[in-house]
Chain A
Amino acid sequence: MSGFLVRRLATILPTLLFVTILVFGLQQLLPGDPAVALSGEDRDPSVIAYLHQKMHLDDPLPVRYGYWLRDLAHGDFGESIRIQQPVLGLILEKLPVTAQLASMAILIAIVIGVSAGIVSAVKKDSIWDYGANLFALWGLSTPNFWLGIMLILLVAVKLGWLPASGYVSPAEDLRANLAAMIMPAFVLGNSYAAVLMRHTRSAMLQVLNADYVRTARAKGLDERVVVLRHALRNALIPVITLGALSFGELLGGTVLTESVFTIPGFGKLIVDAVFNRDYAVVQGVVLFTATAYIVLNLLADLGYFLVNPRMRG
């Protein structure tokens, strides 16, 4: 296992370096002069010239990439030109928000998705199975922004149970925080639950037909033990991979849901930054989320070892 771990860890640094090149390079493909986009309505030539100088826009690309890498090595992610705040500060400010939203969403997705998947596999071709499939179809085919707005109109405006949008820090008021987060987390979790349900179902169906499960049944084990202890453990492998990838995706920010519910997370940060050509913010956030993604992938690999002893050899 340690050899595997070392090999996996060794790939991280080159991957990250590749990511920096990609992030930096792709950004240059955005059309237009960022200084013009950032200079406001009046487009004062002196302001544009100042921004050129401040963002090193007149230097050759490799030089600018070098500046960025040098600053990164010093832990400096740069500064948002638009609101003049350090990018690292912005990331650290948004991270707990997005992390909470992602965690709640994935929790909802797992609770709903995995249990629905198990039920529909175990009760294959029953009304439960059809019900779960219908739910999955709904989850997959409902656009988040639509569901979000409908929920806001129903739960916040019509019933007045929850705030329509916005964010409250849990440190400030935990109940208000949960009240603000539960709707967006549900909207996000809903679509991931559908995917998880489909994967859990097919994995479970495969495993339930396996020899060792038949053996377990033949030994006279309780069906619940067979399903939850023996079958589910193996079936969970693809689900863990998917869960980790989904979580990584969620950590990268969920643009539409964050926009609809006005949750100040990564998604909103990066979209605003792209439209405003706030390069330092785009680069910082993408690099950060890419790193998170890589780390989560690594954790998923480690997860296999924990649930499946055969892979430890």
Chain B
Amino acid sequence: MHLKSWVSRIGFALGVVVGLAASAHAQTLRIGLAEDPDVLDPTQARTFVGRIVFAAMCDKLVDIDENLKIVPQLATSWEWSADNKALTMKLRQGVTFQDGEPFNAEAVKFNIERHKTMQGSNRKAELALVTGVDVIDPSTVRLDLSAPFAPLLATLADRAGMMVSPKAAQAAGDKFGAQPVCSGPFKFAERVAQDRIVLEKYPGYWNKDAIHFDKVIYLPVVDNTVRLANLQSGQLDFIERLGTSDVQGVERDSRLKIAKIVGLGYQGIDFNVGKSDIAKTTVLRDPRVREAFSLSLDRDAIVQVAMDGQAVAGDQWVPPNSPFFAKNVPVPKRDVAKAKALLKEAGVTNPSFTLMTPTTNEAQKLGQVVQAMASEAGFNIKLQSTEFATSLNLADKGEFEAYILEWSGRADPDGNLYNFLACGAPINYTGYCQPEAEQLLKAQRTTLDAAERQQMFDKIAAREAADLPIVYLYNRYWLWAYNKKLTGVREVPDALLRVQGLKME
């Protein structure tokens, strides 16, 4: 038999096998993740990618919508006390955990206390101001705070607000992440590390009419091209973090759809302004030099070159389309002449410094573009390419002059701001500590009135633009690509896929 006909026979047979496999999984939603999530326990979890899985497995007290508004989920309504130091929440009735246990005020109390007391909990700091939880009746709970805390609701719209079954959590102890039990639409079925996480529909889900799949399978496929190839060949229905250079190709593919969500995070360059002794010697210690650096950059061009246009140029910790964006500090235009003038004024016409750059493609490209642009104003930048975990350690110790750092972002601007700029905060790599900023950073946390709080953000933005401990560059789009037949995809800025309402037509 001719080789050609053999090849076509084998191909046909394989096609049949794959086709049969595909039809058997018609009610299964297959999602390609860019990384393998960490431990699946909301209390201990640390990664962004883990939150994507939680979105299908663990309901939260509240959620955020497309406009960053807090909306009900397990809590149906809430009210602040007159002194803003207590939040009373009415809970949804008739909700059960995936092991059949009832969800009620006692369960909320257990969960908040678990977040606050469990060894290795990553939620302790987020809930630091919560001093106690009072069960008022089975469907009413009150969170007591030591001081008013504006970001609390947004915090409860993330992992700190996820409710796990107290019975299962007590039984599993610190091994809960291996067999998590929550109250979301899909329950944990199986996990093979680095291969897949399988969730099955929970028939007792309170909002089960919104669920149209029997199974959700999350498959970590690290390589962008391969993740997309899996989508194109039909093995995946949805992929997160599409490569920026693949956008055009997907847009041309009639079988696929694309979603571009302006994220909550930012890409910036942190300067060592007070983290270690380097801050005293670096040429960047003069704010005029930092301003000159910022002015030497064309943010729109950076977005085009480093991100293939898949981001919005920005100059703050929130993107320009955010309701929290400080309009008094618009994104600066490139001004090389002014940059040169500032350097002259500072007495350093050819300042040189080292820019620490993580080894990801994007960060490398960004470093090179920045290096080239700033050189036109007279800067001499040395790129120091450093593996990510190592770079964090160096940043933590203050062993750097400037550091390219991306933050995935939080729903409340405080999550993008306070821990980076408040004196001595854990991820304040810059070592920035300025009395006026500090006072404003603290005040915005305790101010619940939105307009009043925004005024504080405006002032912080002005202060930050003058001091420039961080030069913000852009806010990336979260890029999703998915099968055109998949409907009900909601583009929430936290870039976590909501499975409620998703349907394969």
CB pair B39 A84 closer than 8 Å: yes
What is the distance, in angstroms, from B161's C-beta to the closest C-beta of chain A? 16
In the complex, the chain A residue whose C-beta lies closest to that of B396 is A36
Q: Quick one: CB contact mask for B214-237 with A, threshold 8 Å, 1 for yes? A: 000001111101100110111100
CB-CB under 8 A from A40, the residues of chain B are 38, 45-47, 122
CB-CB under 8 A from A152, the residues of chain B are 225-226, 229
CB pair B17 A179 closer than 8 Å: yes
A72 within 8 A of B: no
CB pair B219 A262 closer than 8 Å: yes
B466 within 8 A of A: no
CB pair B18 A37 closer than 8 Å: no
CB-CB under 8 A from B225, the residues of chain A are 149, 152
CB pair B229 A43 closer than 8 Å: no
A10 within 8 A of B: no
Which size class do A's interface residues fall under? 35 or more
B100 within 8 A of A: no
CB pair A44 B426 closer than 8 Å: yes
CB pair B38 A83 closer than 8 Å: yes
Partner of A90, one of B11, B121, B193, B226: B193
CB pair A36 B18 closer than 8 Å: no
CB-CB under 8 A from B136, the residues of chain A are none
CB pair B229 A164 closer than 8 Å: yes
Q: In the bound complex, how far is the Cα of B393 from the Cα of A34, in angstroms? A: 9
CB pair B392 A37 closer than 8 Å: yes
What is the distance, in angstroms, from B316's C-beta to the closest C-beta of chain A? 19
CB pair B36 A272 closer than 8 Å: yes
Known contacts A43-B427, A50-B119, A152-B229: A262-B46 contact under CB 8 Å: no
What is the distance, in angstroms, from B358's C-beta to the closest C-beta of chain A? 11
CB-CB under 8 A from A173, the residues of chain B are 21
CB-CB under 8 A from B174, the residues of chain A are 84
CB pair B17 A42 closer than 8 Å: no
CB pair B125 A46 closer than 8 Å: yes
Q: Quick one: CB contact mask for B274-294 with A, threshold 8 Å, 1 for yes? A: 000000000000000000000
Partner of B222, one of A31, A41, A44, A259: A259
Q: Quick one: CB contact mask for A141-168 with B, threshold 8 Å, 1 for yes? A: 0000000010011001101111111110
Known contacts A41-B408, A42-B46: A31-B419 contact under CB 8 Å: no
CB pair B427 A42 closer than 8 Å: yes
CB pair A264 B39 closer than 8 Å: no
Partner of A166, one of B124, B125, B175, B230: B230
Partner of A264, one of B125, B195, B232: B195
Q: How many residues of B contact A (CB 8 A)?
A: 58
Q: In the bound complex, how far is the Cα of B408 from the Cα of A40, in angstroms? A: 12
Q: Quick one: CB contact mask for A253-274 with B, threshold 8 Å, 1 for yes? A: 0000001111010001100100
CB pair B17 A175 closer than 8 Å: yes
CB pair B233 A259 closer than 8 Å: no
B78 within 8 A of A: no
CB-CB under 8 A from A36, the residues of chain B are 389, 392-393, 396
CB-CB under 8 A from A38, the residues of chain B are 46
CB-CB under 8 A from A164, the residues of chain B are 226, 229-230, 232-233, 235
Q: Quick one: CB contact mask for B305-349 with A, threshold 8 Å, 1 for yes? A: 000000000000000000000000000000000000000000000
CB pair A260 B47 closer than 8 Å: no
CB-CB under 8 A from A47, the residues of chain B are 46, 120-122, 124
A201 within 8 A of B: no
CB-CB under 8 A from B80, the residues of chain A are none
B387 within 8 A of A: yes
Q: Which of B38, B41, B119 has the most CB of A within 10 A?
A: B38
A103 within 8 A of B: no
Give residues 9-29 of B contacting A (CB, 8 Å).
10-11, 14-15, 17-18, 21
Q: Which of B21, B45, B174, B226 has the most CB of A within 10 A?
A: B226
CB-CB under 8 A from A272, the residues of chain B are 36, 194
Q: List 29 A-B contacts (CB under 8 A).
A: A30-B390, A37-B392, A38-B46, A39-B46, A39-B122, A40-B45, A40-B46, A41-B46, A41-B408, A42-B122, A44-B124, A44-B426, A45-B426, A46-B121, A47-B122, A50-B119, A82-B38, A84-B39, A85-B193, A160-B18, A160-B233, A164-B232, A165-B221, A166-B219, A259-B222, A261-B226, A262-B223, A264-B194, A275-B389
Q: Please give 15 more A-B residue pairs, beta carbons under 8 A apart, in addition to A37-B389, A43-B392.
A: A32-B389, A41-B407, A42-B122, A47-B120, A82-B38, A84-B178, A160-B15, A160-B234, A162-B14, A164-B235, A166-B230, A179-B14, A260-B226, A264-B194, A276-B389
A: residues with CB less than 8 A from B are 30-34, 36-47, 50-51, 54, 80, 82-85, 90, 93, 149, 152-153, 156-157, 159-167, 173, 175-176, 179, 259-262, 264, 268-269, 272, 275-277
Nearest 6 CB-CB pairings of A with B: A40-B46, A32-B393, A264-B195, A37-B389, A164-B229, A264-B194
